[in-house]
Amino acid sequence: MTFLRRAALAPLVALVATLAACGSTPGGTDGLTVTDAWVKAADSGMTGAFGMLVNDTDNDITITAASSDVARMELHEMAMNDAGEMVMRPKEGGFVVPAHGTHELAPGGDHIMFMDLTTALQPGDEVTVTLTTSDGETYTFDAAVRTFTGADENYEGSDTNGDMSTDMSTDGATDMSTDGATDS
């Protein structure tokens, strides 16, 4: 099933790449594209968006925020906590996409986090995500919702709140500690 969905996305990805090459990326930053974008299906709570950030410009692009209509968003990384467990937490400084390079968002690694979903995301749905760069530019892309099992991620618990002291989230970061606990 995953491969079928992947194949179905290919024409869309090609179209996005073509538009970017024309220097007229709809809704945002020229030279930044997201290929193979997808979101893990979820009924409520948290989920993640993944894909490949591609920078076709001569300068590094730093993604500092993400937003959508269906959830509060954070930029996350996976890291080792004091107990030696891999947990996710807001990525300090955001995602840096090097000039003429890529930055991968994948389960088990960096990802765009959806928190407190306001609607169920089911396979076949599409979610529009807007990224904001350190220059204040925005880039909007659509991500296809897919089912995905494995690589369930634990959110950094409140017992290590030193790691939570980033400015990536604007509010309610401590809300997630209870959700993280139920995952383990």
User: What residue is closest to Cu ion based on CB?
Assistant: 76
- Minimum CB separation from Cu ion for residue 179, in Å? 11
Q: Which residues bind Cu ion (CB under 5 A)?
A: 76, 88, 113
Question: Is the Cβ of residue 31 or residue 51 nearer to Cu ion in the bound state?
Answer: 51
- Minimum CB separation from Cu ion for residue 89, in Å? 8
- Minimum CB separation from Cu ion for residue 2, in Å? 21
Question: Tokens 């945002």 correspond to what residue?
Answer: 28
Question: Is the Cβ of residue 37 or residue 113 nearer to Cu ion in the bound state?
Answer: 113
Cα–Cα distance measured from residue 129 to residue 106, given in angstroms and rounded to the nearest whole number: 16
- Minimum CB separation from Cu ion for residue 58, in Å? 31
Question: Is the Cβ of residue 43 or residue 183 nearer to Cu ion in the bound state?
Answer: 183
Token pair, residue 40, equals: 């893990």
- Minimum CB separation from Cu ion for residue 91, in Å? 9
Question: Is the Cβ of residue 25 or residue 154 nearer to Cu ion in the bound state?
Answer: 154
Question: Is the Cβ of residue 29 or residue 40 nearer to Cu ion in the bound state?
Answer: 40
